[in-house]
Structure 1
Amino acid sequence: MNRNIVTTVLLSIFISISGFAQDKKWSLEECVNYAMENNISIKQTALDTDLADQDLINAKGNFLPNLNGYATQDWNFGTITNQRTGNQLAADTRGNSFGLNTGVTLFNGFRNTSIYKQAQLGIESSELQLNILKDNISVNVVNQYLNILLNKENLKVAEEQVAITEKQVIQVSELVDSGVRPRADLFEVEAQLASDRERLTNVQNSLDLAILGLTQLLQISNEGFDVEDIELSLPEVLVKHKSSNEIYDYALQNRPEIKKAELDIENSILAIDIAKSAYYPTLSFGAGLRTYYQHFQGQEDVLIVGDINSGFDIISNDFWDQIDNNLGYNLGFRLDIPIFNRMQTKVSVDKAKINKERIAYSLDQAKQDLRSTIEQAYTDAKAAFKQFEASQVSLNAQKEAFKNAQESYNSGVMNSFEFEQVRNRLVNAEANLINAKYNFVFTTKVLDFYLGKPLTD
């Protein structure tokens, strides 16, 4: 009994959740935000920024002194050297030594400074790369979203045409039964209905594929997924910007692709400095602390002190006494001067210079690509706007033609085949206007994107 109750409750919850998921309609802003927060590629690229942070911490560490401790345990058999007197003894011993060492690089041709600056650039570069990825995914989300809306409008037109044709089938069937129309007219209308239903199926399939494309981009299930309708207004980007140069000038100063390419050049210059640092001497400072303990096997840890005149005393010389008495310190500077390293430094410097030139060309290429993309988008937007205006004129003309054809058809002046020809032109005009409208909106969204405007506006 309890199991049945639990099953019923869980089933109710599941049905409620499923119903909520199917009823929810995603807005464009929700889709973009979800992609920004959950896309796996974005998460992976964000981790590159964390790695760059660690590189910066590592670069800072190059300026700090190191500190190492050591401890040893030794066993010696046979002849050994007494650590205090230097005499050779035939004895088995065991001993320990302990120490601390520290060192710091004072100068190495500014290598550490250049590495630190590279690490700082690495953080900026990884953040720019993340922004580039987010921008690209945002554009794809907007494109897929608009594609869904496009297919939704096409679906409405297709459904309306099926409904109209179904009514025509009924009307023509009644006229045929009453002997007003020949049966051939009914066959033509029925054939048109089959064609309209086929078109409806194709549009529905296109809508399903568009939804699938967006959900795959969001990396969620397409089951029950739907989007909110948007009242599209024609953008004014072409009115505000008379040429693509204005958009390009803005994008050149603000797009992360260009900033990243510029950072890559700065990074390549630092790489040259790092390679050149091998020409310079390296000055370092080091210090150490050491002590040791020595024990002769089978003997007590004692020490004989004194002289012949005053006499000799035997005192304890245990572990802690030796550790204290044998404690010593050292410090010093070390200067390493490079003289000849088989041309390796020269090759490294030359390769770094060549790489800088290659990266400089990459910046030029990035600028060219940006200009080409903006000019193409601007040209596409102008063409799409002209197409939209032409499609509006065409649709208005086809509506008038259809209105006249319908009157002619109802009065028996026009046959079914001729009437369907006119109606098909009207359907095509409606589809062309819808496609032109969304094509224009998307191309102008691309221009807004390069102007730094939110894509969800």
Structure 2
Amino acid sequence: MKKLTYLLLLLIGFSATAQEKKWTLKESVDYALQNNISVKQSILDQQIAEQDLKSAKGNFLPTVSGSASQNWNFGSFIDQNGSRISVDSRGNGFGLSTGVTLFNGFRNTNLQKQAELGIESSKVQLDILKNNISLNVVNAYLNILFNREAVKQAEEQVIISQKSLDQVQELVDAGARARADLLVSKSQLASDNERLVNAENNVVLSLLNLSQLLQVPAQGFDIENVDIDLTEAVLVYNNSNEILSYALDNRPEIKGAQLGIDNAELNYQIARSAYYPTLSFGAGASTSYQHLQGQDDVLPIIIGLDSNTGLPIIENQKNGFLEQVENNLGYNVGFSLSIPIFNGFRTDASVKRAEITKERVVLALEQEKQTLTSNVEQAFADAKASLTQYEASKISLESQELAFQNEQDKFDLGVSTSFQLEQVRNRLINAQSSFLNAKYNYVFKTKVLDFYLDKPITE
């Protein structure tokens, strides 16, 4: 009973620890990269590419095969000695053969190069997938932090509204304020409570979104709060040229498109190999065994002539399975040359298709470069605009805070109404919301620039 109680307490402790776990940004990204199904599939694609390379290398090795047969003959047939026999029989055949392609227009060489490119391409595709997943996780993580700050702001406004309502209630009870001011304060408190509920729902939904990205249970899922300090909000680069130059040289999307060109060139060479002759070398060994039904396995051999009759003297020698297999053993070796002459223009069509494909993938590379250029320039413009927006919203927030404090002082002195005070406070709330949006928008936009520069986006 004590052991059972101890085990239950231990399990409860593990459960509590699991629920209290708060994911850091780095843990979230690392977990997604290790456990995402698409990533696992891409890793399997890479393993398939490695097997393709193994198969391509095997084209250079000789093939070896063995054969065995069992057959029955009924009626007349030609035996191993070339004689016609009208007896039922059964027999076996055994063979071993090998062959190797000596030349086939460099097809095997190009197939191996293509398989090696396949491995590189699968690695590049995995890098692209990991980059996209990382960026999505970072965006989802920042969205949670943004919504949590929105909750804090909403909670502060509810507290302010409640204090304002209590203050107005006292003034109304004392006859110093009209009852209409009380209604305005109650309306504002209800509006702030609604804003708080919506903000809390947004936190729940953003946590659910991140847990789904990580493919972990949403129950008990939580992240570690991060204090984002933007005391020095500046852009490191004055323009997008340096970012673009690095991206064009290093981004996996460009490398993938370049590998596509190399692969298309190899496809073209493989198609052209059909114009060349194929030279092969082969060798083999074979033997057989035959048994006449109802007869012993013997072989009549002439050992001399009878001195009286002059007829041959015949002696039956044992000719069983082992003897026949040994005696019938034969070998062969030779070369085979196949020269293509005409195949209905199929080779010409294959070569032309490969040539057209080469042109298409060259255009695909140019398109990829244009897309990357557009994305980088857009990302830089967005980051620059987000910094301007952040600075402007910060100034606006400071102004609205001063305006609200001034209006609060006037209200306390009785020279301002509740309606006027709430109007100013609503402008302050909007300024706070704009500042919060601008802050996280700037953080994410700078992360996008780091993304194109292959810098860590989890820091």
TM value normalised by structure 2 = 0.95
Q: CA contact under 8 A between 2:89 and 2:292: conserved in structure 1?
A: yes
Is the contact between residue 235 and residue 384 of structure 2 (CA under 8 Å) also seen in structure 1?
Answer: no
2-structure distance, mates of 1:277, 1:237: 60
Offset of residue 16 of structure 1: 3.0
Q: Who is 1:66 aligned against?
A: 63
| Correspondence for 2:133 | 137
Structure 2 residue aligned with 1:337: 339
Work out the CA distance in 1 between the residues paired with 2:216 and 2:85.
80
- Mapped to 2, the partners of 1:323 and 1:236 lie a distance apart of 91
* CA distance 1:31–1:337, change in 2 (3 Å): same
Per-residue CA deviations over 1:407-453 (Å, capped at 9, x if unaligned) read 00001100000001111111111111111011011001000010010
Corresponding position of 2:406: 404
User: What residue in structure 2 maps to residue 28 of structure 1?
Assistant: 25
Contact 2:110 2:266 in 1 (8 A): yes
The change in CA–CA distance for 1:434 and 1:105 in structure 2 (over 3 A counts) is: same
Task: Specify the alignment match of 2:171 in structure 1.
Answer: 175
User: How big is the shift at 1:72?
Assistant: 0.7
Q: Percent identity?
A: 56
Q: Which residue of 1 aligns with 2:46?
A: 49
Aligned residue number for residue 81 of structure 1: 78
List gaps (5 residues or longer) in structure 1. none
How many corresponding residue pairs?
453
Task: Classify the secondary structure of the residue corresponding to 1:240.
Answer: coil
**Which letter does structure 1 place at the counterpart of 2:270?**
I
Q: Within 5 Å, which residues of 2 pair with 1:355-370?
A: 355-370=357-372
Match of 1:151 among 147, 152, 161: 147
Q: Is the 1:62–1:112 contact (alpha carbons within 8 Å) kept by the matching residues of 2?
A: yes
Gaps of 5+ in 2: 306-311
Q: Is the CA contact (8 Å cut-off) linking 1:395 and 1:433 kept in structure 2?
A: yes
- State how far apart, in whole Å, the 2-side matches of 1:87 and 1:325 are: 17
Mapped contact 1:237–1:444 kept (Cα < 8 A) = no
1:199-250 deviation digits (Å, cap 9, x = unpaired) = 1111111111111111110111222222112232449896432211210110
Aligned equivalents of 1:348, 1:113: Cα separation in 2 = 19
Give the equivalent residue in structure 2 for 1:267: 263
**Residue in 1 that maps onto 2:423:** 421
Determine the C-alpha separation between the residues in 1 that align with 2:96 and 2:229.
Answer: 74
Q: CA deviation at 1:189?
A: 0.3
How do 1:27-426 and structure 2 match up within 5 A? 27-84=24-81, 86-234=82-230, 239-309=235-305, 311-426=313-428
For residues 238 and 216 of structure 2, what CA distance do their matches in structure 1 show?
A: 41
Give the C-alpha shift of residue 10 in structure 1.
Answer: 6.6
Distance 1:253 1:358 in 2: 21
The answer on whether the counterparts of 1:95 and 1:295 sit within 8 Å (CA) in structure 2 is: yes
C-alpha displacement of 1:5: 8.3
Matched residue, 1:433: 435
Distance in structure 1 (CA, Å) of the matches to 2:380 and 2:266? 38
Range moving further from structure 2, 223-232 or 135-144: 223-232
Contact 1:237 1:447 in 2 (8 A): no
Cα deviation, residue 113, structure 1: 0.5
* Aligned residues of 2:303 and 2:315 also touching (Cα < 8 A): no
- Give me the whole-angstrom Cα distance separating, in 2, the residues matched to 1:346 and 1:277: 11
Backbone CA RMSD of aligned residues: 1.7
Q: Distance in 1 between matches of 2:104 and 2:158?
A: 81
- After TM superposition, give the deviation of residue 306 of structure 1 in Å: 2.6
Give the Cα–Cα distance (whole angstroms) in 2 for the partners of residues 92 and 294 of structure 1.
Answer: 11
Question: Could you tell me whether the CA contact under 8 Å between 1:237 and 1:448 is conserved in 2?
Answer: no
